Amino acid sequence: MQRRGRIVRTLLSVYYAYMVEYRAELLLWVLSGTFPLILMGIWAQASESGLLTFQSEEFVRYFLAVFIVRQFTVVWVIWEFEREVLEGKLSAYLLQPIDPVWRHFFGHIAERFARLPFAFILIALFFWLYPQALWVPSPVGLGLGLAAIALAFSLRFLMQYTFALCAFWTERASAIEQFWFLFYLFLSGMIAPLEMFPDAVREAVLWTPFPYLIYFPASLLVGLPVDPWRGLFTMLGWGAFFFLVNRWLWRRGLRQYSGMGA
């Protein structure tokens, strides 16, 4: 246990230092997540017509929450893992007495902390420009929302890492992620709160993992009515499924792997 704690601390501090080194790049990544802010404008404008069930402020808050959730659930493990497999760098990591996944996982976590200041500055700037939208989430909503963000990040990481393992068999595993990303983009609530979807579509989508990656945490943050238990169990269910597939692929993949030095 003590050894584990030490490993975690070391990995976190190493990757934090690494990420802070690339601050400028990080800022650009933060800025490249503007998609929700664009849709915020259109939906806010659309709500002026009075034909929608949401008020303009509700849309603004929702999409700001989407922006925040996006910032903290960004995952890129598949591109790194793919490169490691293709270039044979994985071999060196396999020699270490720790599963290579932790290196990626804590790299992502450390990046969150390095990203935090930028995200806060942007949010402050936003409320300064648009004070009407200012809201304070209820303590329960905030707590649940943060927990949901953590879960959403873990689930997204797990899913992407599972796809990444396909790199043992194919050269462009990232293509799978790119395809999957389309579903994520359109069904996760990034383009609109799920309340705007036709009922049948919404009910179907709620069984997939996608809305729990964005819509669910964002709704908790802004106080839209969602069922926290359903969210929790759906995420755990999909998480368990991907975990099993992941471990199976990992074992098969290592046998398949013939990178340099393996």
Decide: is 204 part of the binding site for other proteins (CB under 8 A). Answer: no
The span of 6-14, 47-55, 80-88, 119-127 binding other proteins (CB under 8 A) equals 47-55
Of positions 1, 51, 136, 200, contacts other proteins by CB under 8 A: 51
Decide: is 20 part of the binding site for other proteins (CB under 8 A). Answer: no
- CA–CA gap between residue 50 and residue 257 (Å, rounded): 58
Q: Which residue, 192 or 206, is less far from other proteins as judged by CB?
A: 192
Q: Which residue, 60 or 144, is less far from other proteins as judged by CB?
A: 60
Do residues 82 and 88 make contact, with C-beta atoms less than 8 angstroms apart? Answer: no
Decide: is 185 part of the binding site for other proteins (CB under 8 A). Answer: yes
Decide: is 119 part of the binding site for other proteins (CB under 8 A). Answer: no
Q: Which residue, 183 or 233, is less far from other proteins as judged by CB?
A: 183
Decide: is 182 part of the binding site for other proteins (CB under 8 A). Answer: yes
- Binders of other proteins: how many residues, by CB under 8 A? 32
Decide: is 227 part of the binding site for other proteins (CB under 8 A). Answer: no
Q: Which residue, 123 or 175, is less far from other proteins as judged by CB?
A: 175
Least Å from the CB of residue 41 to other proteins:
4
Q: Which residue, 138 or 178, is less far from other proteins as judged by CB?
A: 178
Decide: is 132 part of the binding site for other proteins (CB under 8 A). Answer: no
Task: For residue 245, give the nearest of 183, 178, 158 by alpha carbon.
Answer: 158
Decide: is 191 part of the binding site for other proteins (CB under 8 A). Answer: yes
CB-count exposure of residue 195 (10 Å: 0-12, 13-18, 19+): middle
Task: For residue 195, give the nearest of 52, 17, 44 by alpha carbon.
Answer: 52
